[in-house]
Amino acid sequence: MEKLTITNLACKRGSNLVFDNLSFEIKSGETFLIKGSNGSGKTSLMRTMAGFIKPYEGKIFIDNEQLNADRNDKEKFQFIGEKSALKNNLSVKNNITLWSLLFNTSVNVDDLLKVFNLNSFINSDVATLSDGQKKRLSLSKLFLDNRSVWLLDEPYVFLDEENIADLNNKILKFNERSGIVIITSNIDIDFPFNERINL
| CATH number, position 56 | 3.40.50.300
pLDDT for res 178: 83
pLDDT for res 69: 61
| pLDDT tens sequence across 3-23 | 899 999 999 989 999 999 999
**Are 5 and 168 a contacting pair, CB within 8 Å?**
no
Question: Cβ neighbours of residue 177 under 8 Å, at least 6 residues apart?
Answer: none
Domain that holds residue 71: 3-198
| pLDDT tens sequence across 104-147 | 888 899 999 999 999 999 999 999 999 999 999 999 999 988 88
| pLDDT tens sequence across 163-182 | 999 999 999 999 888 888 98
- Tally of domains in the chain: 1
Letter string b/e over residues 148-172, b meaning 16 or more CB atoms within 10 A of that residue's CB: bbbbbbbbbebbeeebbebbbebbe
Question: Cβ neighbours of residue 58 under 8 Å, at least 6 residues apart?
Answer: 6, 7, 8, 9, 10, 21, 22, 23
Model pTM?
A: 0.89
Question: What is the distance between the alpha carbons of residues 3 and 124, in angstroms, rounded to a whole number?
Answer: 40
**Are 186 and 36 a contacting pair, CB within 8 Å?**
yes
pLDDT for res 21: 94
| pLDDT tens sequence across 73-114 | 667 888 998 877 899 999 999 999 999 998 888 889 999 999
DSSP run (H or E) holding 16: strand 16-27
**Are 174 and 29 a contacting pair, CB within 8 Å?**
no
